[in-house]
Amino acid sequence: MRISARADYAVRAALELAAAGDDTSLKAEAIAEAQGIPHKFLEGILGDLRRGGLVVSQRGGKGGYRLARPADSIPIADVIRVADGPLVSVRGVRPPDLSYIGPAESLLPLWIAVRANVRKILGEVTLADVAAAKLPDDVLSLADDPEAWTNP
Amino acid sequence: MRISARADYAVRAALELAAAGDDTSLKAEAIAEAQGIPHKFLEGILGDLRRGGLVVSQRGGKGGYRLARPADSIPIADVIRVADGPLVSVRGVRPPDLSYIGPAESLLPLWIAVRANVRKILGEVTLADVAAAKLPDDVLSLADDPEAWTNP
DNA sequence: TGTTTCCCTACCAATTCACTAGGATTCCCG
DNA sequence: CGGGAATCCTAGTGAATTGGTAGGGAAACA
């Protein structure tokens, strides 16, 4: 299960906007530099966020991007979906569209459970939470377990 | 977050072996047909499972593959790791190897929490559980929520 | 010895990924 | 009403990954 560069970049760009405040706007170039993201690549991602209604843009001298809604009303899951498609997919199709036979039949509810558990986190945590470094308690308790940081 | 065809195929093949019993061996061709997986592609995957120590093989007339350990001692996570690498990665690197700056700093614990939540399921559920269609209660309760089956 | 099966290397087409180029368009400001 | 500064759009590109094929060599068993 891999999270693509697009998704990662999109979230980080949105976090910069969240940190800047709902009414200040940032230029793509400034975000790119702050987060070490290739500028033109980021422009494409910001275009997706705009078309997805998460961000509004302004051209010209005092232009830039800002969040379309308050940062505490935008869950991380929304950013990832808009920039990169479905949160979780198996072979490119979403879990409910799969079908398995024989001893693999229970694989479907298993993938559903995995997706539900991913959603529980990414759907609950908002841009404001991460930007302010104030993750919800249940997420923190997951991340605080030293076991969770070990490799295999 | 996508689960690759390799990972999906690997788990389904392992489930066929689990259903066949720890001492019966199945030919690659039989597994391929039962699960609708391209035969030669599957051979490569079974080779990975063998090198990963999850499966043992036997050549010749009465040959085939069988599980190297009892099915109830092999979590799904192991199969995916052996066939497809790390369970969860961001831009191809594992969460603990990432580093973020500025308002994105709390992204790291967030990815860790996501990974922990995925592990909690795939590390707990074994091949035997899925093959017998008897998922653990906590997983079932996640999959039973109708909300978990809706699309976005 | 011959059949059956795994095993190995190599290859392939298509897609995706991550990124770049260059210009058109729109906006504010002086 | 220009002119610079930004976004916006289309297109392209090299490398890697994905998903799959082909063909033959090596071992086990009858």
Give the distance from residue A126's alpha carbon to the nearest chain B alpha carbon, in angstroms: 11
**Contact call for A91 and B16, based on CB within 8 A:** no
A-chain residues near B100 (CB < 8 A) = 12
Q: Is the CB of B48 under 7 A from strand C?
A: no
**B22 and B71 Cβ atoms separated by less than 8 Å:** yes
Instruction: Quote the CA–CA distance of A105 and B130 in Å, as a whole number.
Output: 8
SS (H, E, C) B112-126: HHHHHHHHHHHCCCE
The pLDDT of residue B145: 95
B-chain residues near A16 (CB < 8 A) = 102-104
Structure token digits, residue A8: 């990662």
Q: For chain A, what is the domain count? A: 1
User: Residue A10 pLDDT more than 90?
Assistant: yes
The pLDDT of residue B151: 81
State chain A's mean pLDDT as an integer: 93
State pLDDT tens for residues A30-88. 999 899 998 989 999 999 999 999 999 999 888 899 999 999 999 999 999 999 989 99
Q: Which residue range forms the structural domain that includes residue A85? A: 5-149
**B121 and A114 Cβ atoms separated by less than 8 Å:** yes
The pLDDT of residue B59: 93
The pLDDT of residue A52: 92
CATH number, domain with residue A64: 1.10.10.10
Q: Which residue of B101, B106, B107 is the best one to mutate when testing the A interface, meaning the one whose CB has the most A CBs within 10 A?
A: B106
**pLDDT-flagged residues of chain B (< 70):** none
The pLDDT of residue A60: 87
Give the distance from residue B60's alpha carbon to the nearest chain A alpha carbon, in angstroms: 26
Task: Say whether B3 sits in a helix, a strand or coil.
Answer: strand
Q: Which residues contact B89 (CB under 8 A, 6 or more apart)?
A: A1, A2, A3, B95
Q: Which of B10, B126, B32 is nearest to A91 (CA)?
A: B10
Q: Which of B96, B106, B142 sits opposite A113 (nearest CB)?
A: B142
Q: Which of A12, A43, A3, A35 is nearest to A127 (CA)?
A: A12
Instruction: Quote the CA–CA distance of A79 and A97 in Å, as a whole number.
Output: 23
Instruction: Quote the CA–CA distance of B133 and B136 in Å, as a whole number.
Output: 10
Element (H, E) at B40: helix B39-51
Q: Which residue of B2, B67, B94 is the best one to mutate when testing the A interface, meaning the one whose CB has the most A CBs within 10 A?
A: B2
User: Residue A152 pLDDT more than 80?
Assistant: no
Instruction: Quote the CA–CA distance of A66 and A60 in Å, as a whole number.
Output: 14
